[in-house]
Amino acid sequence: FLFFFLGAVALAPFLLLEEVGSYAFMQGAALGSSFYSVAFVFYIKSLAQGEASLVSPLYNFNIFFLALLAWFFLGEPLTAFKVGGLCLLLYGASYLNKQGHVLASLRAVAVDRSCQYMMIASLLIALGRIMDKHFSAGVPPITYSFWLYIFVSAYMLVYLVALRRIGKVLELLRERPGMSLLAGALNGFSYLLMVVAMSGLDVSVAEPMGLLGLVVTLLLSKIFFHEQVGQRMIGVLFMIGGGWLLCM
Going by the DSSP 8-state scheme, the letter that residue 207 receives in this structure is G
3-state helix, strand, coil in the chain (%, to 5): 80, 0, 20
- The answer to whether the beta carbons of residues 103 and 13 sit under 8 Å apart is no
Question: In this predicted structure, what is the pLDDT of residue 72?
Answer: 81
C-alpha span between 14 and 167 (Å, rounded): 30
Percent of the chain with pLDDT over 70: 97
Orientation angle between helical segments 62-69 and 113-135, nearest 10 degrees: 40
Q: Write out pLDDT tens, residues 119-134.
A: 999 999 888 888 888 8
Query: Which tops the pLDDT comparison, 199 or 102?
Result: 102
Q: For residue 13, which amino acid is it? A: P
Question: In this predicted structure, what is the pLDDT of residue 3?
Answer: 87
Could you tell me which of 45, 33, 40 has the C-alpha nearest to residue 62?
A: 40
Going by the DSSP 8-state scheme, the letter that residue 19 receives in this structure is -
Question: In this predicted structure, what is the pLDDT of residue 121?
Answer: 94
The CA radius of gyration of the chain, in Å to the nearest whole number, is 18
Vertex 5: Cα angle to 124 and 55 (nearest 5): 40
- The answer to whether the beta carbons of residues 32 and 212 sit under 8 Å apart is no
Question: In this predicted structure, what is the pLDDT of residue 85?
Answer: 87
C-alpha span between 87 and 45 (Å, rounded): 27
pTM over 0.75: yes
C-alpha span between 79 and 67 (Å, rounded): 10
